[in-house]
Amino acid sequence: MNEFWSRYARNRSAVMGLGILVLVIFMAAIASLIFPDDPFRLAGIPLSVPGANGFFLGSDTLGRDVASGIAHGAKTSLLIGLVATFAAVFIGIIFGAFSGYYGGLVDDILMRITEIFQTIPSFVFAILLVAIMKPSIESIVIAITVVSWPGVARLVRGEFLSLKNREFVQACHTIGMSDMRIIVREILPNCLSPIIVVGSLMVATAILIESGLAFLGLGDPNIMSWGFQIGAGRTMLRSAWWVCTFPGIAILVTVLAINLVGEGLNDALNPRLREGN
Amino acid sequence: MKTLLKSCVLAISLLLGAISAQAQKSGGTLVFLVQPEPPSLAAYVSTSGPIGLVAPKVYEGLFDYDNDGKIVHVLAESHAVSADGKTVTFNLRKGVTWHDGKPFTSADVQFAIMNVLSKVHPRGPNTFSEVESIDTPDAHTAVLNLKKPAPYMLRALSAYESPMVPKHLLEGTDIKSAKLGNKPVGTGPFKFVEWKKGQYIRLDKNENYWRKGLPYLDKIVGRFIPDASTRTAAMENGEVLYGAYGAIPNIDAVRLKKRDDISVTTDGYSMINPMALIEFNTKKGAFVDAAVRKAISLAINREFLIKNIWFGYGKPATSALTSNFSATGLHAAMPNFPAKGDTAAANAVLDAAGFKRNSDGVRMTAVLDLIPYGEDWRRAGEYLKQAMGDIGIKLDLRYEDVPTWLRRIYHKYDFAMNVNYFYQLPDPVLGVHRHYGTNMIRKGTHFVNSSRYSNAALDKLLAAGMIEPDATKRSAIYKDVQKILAEDMPVVNLFELQFLTVYNTKLKGAYGSALGAYGSFAEAWIDD
What are A73-129's pLDDT values in tens digits? 999 999 999 999 999 999 999 999 999 999 999 999 999 999 999 999 999 999 999
Q: Give the chain B residue whose CA is nearest to the CA of A134.
A: B400
Domain CATH code at residue B153: 3.90.76.10
- Determine contact: A41 vs chain B, CB below 8 A: yes
Q: Which of B150, B179, B208 is the last residue of a domain?
A: B179
Domain CATH code at residue B216: 3.40.190.10
| pLDDT of res. A7 | 83
Provide the domain limits for residue B327. 274-497
Residues B437, B347 share a domain:
yes
The residue among B528 and A196 whose pLDDT is bigger is A196
Residues B466, B346 share a domain:
yes
Contacts of B488 (CB under 8 A, 6+ apart): B290, B293, B453, B455
In B, which residues are within 8 Å of A235 by CB distance? Answer: 228-229, 249, 251-252, 375
Instruction: Give how far B397 is from chain A: nearest CA, Å.
Output: 6
Q: Give the chain B residue whose CA is nearest to the CA of A47.
A: B308
Residues B342, B228 share a domain:
no
Residues B413, B341 share a domain:
yes
User: Does residue A154 have a pLDDT over 80?
Assistant: yes
Confidence category of residue A19, pLDDT binned at 50, 70, 90: very high
**Separation of CA B295 from chain center:** 29
Residues B491, B354 share a domain:
yes
Residues B490, B420 share a domain:
yes
DSSP per-residue string spanning A29-84: HHHHHH--S-TTS--SSTTPPTTGGG-TT-B-TT--BHHHHHHHHHHHHHHHHHHH
- Determine contact: A132 vs chain B, CB below 8 A: no
Residues B290, B245 share a domain:
no
Residues B367, B333 share a domain:
yes
- Determine contact: A131 vs chain B, CB below 8 A: yes
- Distance, in Å, from the CA atom of A45 to the CA atom of B136, rounded to the nearest integer, reads 64
Residues B383, B260 share a domain:
no
- Distance, in Å, from the CA atom of A58 to the CA atom of B277, rounded to the nearest integer, reads 30
Q: To the nearest whole number, what is the mean pLDDT of chain A?
A: 89
| pLDDT of res. B512 | 65
In A, which residues are within 8 Å of B385 by CB distance? Answer: 40, 222
Among B449, B484, B152, residue whose Cα is nearest residue B332: B484
Partner residue facing A46 (CB), from B308, B381, B386: B308
- Determine contact: A212 vs chain B, CB below 8 A: no
Q: Do strands B525-526 and B507-508 pair parallel, antiparallel, or not at all (unpaired)?
A: antiparallel
The mean pLDDT value for A211-216 works out to 87
In a domain, B301, yes or no: yes
In a domain, B11, yes or no: no
DSSP per-residue string spanning B147-194: SS--GGGGGS-STTTS----HHHHTTS-GGG-GGGTS---SSSEEEEE
In a domain, B50, yes or no: no
In this prediction the pTM is: 0.77
Contacts of A177 (CB under 8 A, 6+ apart): A186
In a domain, B21, yes or no: no
In B, which residues are within 8 Å of A222 by CB distance? Answer: 385, 396-397
| pLDDT of res. A276 | 47
- Distance, in Å, from the CA atom of B163 to the CA atom of B120, rounded to the nearest integer, reads 13
Q: CB–CB of B389 and A236 under 8 A?
A: no
Confidence category of residue A141, pLDDT binned at 50, 70, 90: very high
In A, which residues are within 8 Å of B398 by CB distance? Answer: 134, 221
Residues B206, B225 share a domain:
yes
Give me the number of domains chain B comprises: 3
- Distance, in Å, from the CA atom of B500 to the CA atom of A100, rounded to the nearest integer, reads 62
Q: Which residues of chain B have pLDDT under 50?
A: 1, 14-21
| pLDDT of res. B18 | 45
3-state secondary structure B401-455: CHHHHHHHHHHCCCCCEEEEEEECCCCHHHHCHHHHCHHHCCCCCCCCCCCCCCC
Q: CB–CB of A40 and B386 under 8 A?
A: yes
Domain CATH code at residue B293: 3.10.105.10
The answer to whether the CB of A101 falls within 8 A of the CB of A162 is no
The answer to whether the CB of B287 falls within 8 A of the CB of B293 is yes
User: Does residue A277 have a pLDDT over 70?
Assistant: no
Among B61, B60, B58, residue whose Cα is nearest residue B40: B58
Residues B303, B161 share a domain:
no
Residues B310, B226 share a domain:
no
User: Does residue A271 have a pLDDT over 80?
Assistant: no
Q: What is the dihedral of CA A156, A116, A263, A271, to 10 degrees?
A: 20
Domains in chain A, please, with CATH?
2-31+75-219+246-276 (1.10.3720.10)
Q: CB–CB of A61 and B389 under 8 A?
A: no
Q: Side-chain half-sphere of A222: how many Cα atoms within 13 Å?
A: 17
